[in-house]
Chain A
């Protein structure tokens, strides 16, 4: 009992081939779209590569890029097959390639589903990577004279201004690091000496933040220093002040940004998967309908198309038997040669 049998008169076969040809070109566009999505995601990740510690998350755009290129080629092949399918002289040479094509198309769909699943699973890894990267960025903020780290200040400043965030978890992260370089500290002044002596490591810590934490929506000009001292500024209370600096931490801001990006890409990928599956199903119907038509006396008669020749269980059992026979082939031969050897001895 074939699976999902459908009758195909000549006119329907022709229409199926034409429709599938058009569908395969749409699928090529979808492949190009997937490729562009992969490139876009990779560029966005590379832009902030300086505040990321590891690049595990890059596997998602890499898969998208590979699948995009592969699906362009695969669907172009499907279009070519459709073009030749209506010509009985040229169709037979494509026949042996169709089963491997199905396998490749299935593999591409599986990879796309894997990329969507990975984009959710790797969120934890992304957060960890950002935590370490941002911590280092804040620690090396002051090293504008150390080669290799001299652009950390600019990177962190631009990041905080663009994403409207401050520090790793919140603005207090800046209180725990010395973010002013020693070159700009007057070590003869009493204030500097007090602050440096007040902690074990001899760092110049202060309750202030860089200018990039300032929130432009605040009604008052930005307060950057003496943030915990209510008396240092007129009409200021640090416990209730909300608009002066950005409240969000940069780690959360970046994770939200990337998750939002992947959530937007998700439905696009799902539609590409459904497009690829429909191309696969239509090509299978076309293949079986054309094979049925070839076997008929009059090639222009009605033929049948199906997805599987027998039911699902029977096809699985057959496939199992075929694979087992491959393995058994070696042992059966050994048994027959042993029997032959034993026979002349006994005879």
Chain B
């Protein structure tokens, strides 16, 4: 009892083949889309790899690129097979590889589902990479004269302005590190000596933030220095002041940006999976409808197409039996030799 049997006459077969061919070209474009999304994701990660301490994992974008390329290849081949299926002579050349091709399509679709799941799950390790990377990045803000780190200040400033965020968790992170280079500190001044003496590591800590934390929507010119001192500025109360600097931390901002990107890519990969499953089913019907011609000599005769030759249970037991017999094949040979030895 075949699964999902459908009767096909010549017209229906031709229509099916044309439709599946058209859908295969659509899938080739979908494969190109997955490839380009993987490439875009990779470039976005590279752009900000300094902020992640060059530790970020490129596994997911590389996987997306490979899957996109494989999808293009498989779908182009499937389209060619569909195109040739209308000509019985050409289709006979493709006949032997149809079954392995369909099985590989099935495995590829499973891989696509796994990739989509990965897109949604990779957010969690990414969070930790970001937290570590930003903390270290802020420490190197002042090192504009150290080779290899001289662009950290610019990168951080541009990132804080672009993503509208300040510090790691919030702006107070800047109070805990020295972000002004020693070259611009007058060590003869009393104020500097006081601040350096006030902590164990001898760092110049201040309750101020860099200019890139400033919020342009604030009605008042930006207050960057002496932020926790209400008397230092007229009509200023740092407990109620909300618009002066960005309130969000950069870890949250970057995470929501990359998280959103990964969610979009995951959703897209799921849609592509559905499309791939559709064309695989279509190709199976094309193949079976052309193999079950009631009169093999007459190409215009009726035929039947089905999804599986037997029911799901029977197919499953068939596959299990085949695998067991493959495994037993070696054992049977060994067993035959043993009786021969004992008889003599």
Contacts and interface: CB of A to CB of B under 8 A. Distances in A.
A161 interface: yes
B183 A235 contact: yes
B211 A214 contact: yes
Contacts of A136: none
B220 A221 contact: no
Interface stretch (B25-33, B76-84, B150-158, B332-340): B150-158
A220 B216 contact: no
Interface string A165-190: 00000000000000111011110010
Contacts of B150: 219
Contact of A220 (B181, B220, B234): B181
A131 interface: no
Interface in B199-233: 210-212, 214, 216-217, 219-222, 224, 233
A212 B216 contact: yes
A222 interface: yes
B39 interface: no
Nearest to B233: A184
Contacts of A216: 153-154, 157-158, 161, 212
Nearest to A159: B216
A161 B233 CA distance: 25
Interface residues of A, number: 30
Contacts of A212: 214, 216
A158 B216 contact: yes
Interface in A115-169: 144-145, 150, 153-154, 157-158, 161
The SS class assigned to the A binding surface is: loop
Which size bracket describes the interface of B in this complex?
A: 20 to 34
B144 A211 contact: no
A210 interface: yes
A224 interface: yes
Contacts of B219: 144-145, 150, 153, 181
B317 interface: no
A234 interface: yes
Given A216-B212, A222-B210, A144 B179 contact: no
B185 A184 contact: no
B145 interface: yes
A11 interface: no
Q: Which 4 A-B pairs have the closest CB atoms?
A: A157-B216, A216-B157, A144-B219, A219-B144
10 contacts: A154-B217, A161-B161, A186-B234, A219-B153, A220-B181, A221-B211, A222-B211, A224-B224, A234-B189, A235-B183
Given A154-B216, A183-B235, A184-B221, 6 more contacts: A144-B220, A150-B219, A214-B211, A221-B180, A234-B184, A235-B186
